[in-house]
A = this chain, B = another copy of it.
């Protein structure tokens, strides 16, 4: 972060852009409520003057609040819990406290929560994935609020994460190597979710490279019930011998549906997950899945964010995923002869 003193005021910005100070304020706090042409004029003035809004406790760069904010898509199912937990444990004790908001996979709510955390004086933010309105990144840059993205990787923003595309491709590679050719996928909703989209694309591209395509794809919200329902529907196609799931929660739902349908896993059908959260080891059989580096990712994200807050340069960190081969994969058999459903 720049340490130079900022002299421009909101009046200077308003004068240069030829708008009222209320409009400048709206551009910063509710850009959606300003027409694009006006917004662009104001943003240009802000950049030209290197204007940094005096925003509550953030008035003085030296006056840190010790609050770090994290906005995660959900508190449910503990998908993010291990990573957040490691992140929190890696923050300098006594120096930083973590506050978490969950946005229910809703981009609008995520934006409001980012604004609320910054308004409460957050020194820095941990966010999940890269997909969001560019105006949010601009808003954070203007306020000089450092942030680190996790659970994904890319080259446009600081991150500590992993490659969702490569992780899922490796799993599909293993399933094909077992001999499966009739494969389906239960994916999370890909709209506004680069992690879900990366996993779906990773699987699809790997299949395409072998001259194959999915026998079926269901795109559903992450959840046990939605995974179970999608599985039951996909299995109406009796040729399918393997179901790749976008995360462990969907896979656990699929596995429950398989039990209830009288299908034996993995003999009748292979089911795979992604994340390796706790539930992957309490299903029966235990789940074959892709292990996400929750702990190291949380630690690295904390280290990187603290460097950025202290005005130091920090390097993004790409961590590997790995296949955890437990009990839900096997070579394909002519399963449907045995199935009740």
| A224 and B81 contact, Cβ closer than 8 Å, known pairs A97-B101, A120-B120 | no
A315: CB under 8 A from chain B?
A: no
A45-89 at interface with B (beta carbon < 8 Å): 65-67, 69, 74-78, 80-82, 84-85, 88
A295: CB under 8 A from chain B?
A: no
CA distance A252 to B66 in the complex (A): 38
Report the stretch among A159-167, A193-201, A207-215, A275-283 that lies at the interface: A275-283
A88 proximity list for chain B (CB < 8 A): 102
A270-299 at interface with B (beta carbon < 8 Å): 278-279, 281-284, 286
A224/B76 in contact, CB under 8 A: no
A85/B78 in contact, CB under 8 A: no
Q: Give the copy number.
A: 2
A279 proximity list for chain B (CB < 8 A): 278-279, 282
What are 12 contact pairs spanning A and B, CB under 8 A? A67-B116, A74-B85, A75-B78, A75-B80, A75-B81, A75-B85, A76-B78, A76-B278, A99-B116, A100-B102, A249-B278, A283-B284
CB closest chain-B residue, reference A97: B116
B281/A224 in contact, CB under 8 A: yes
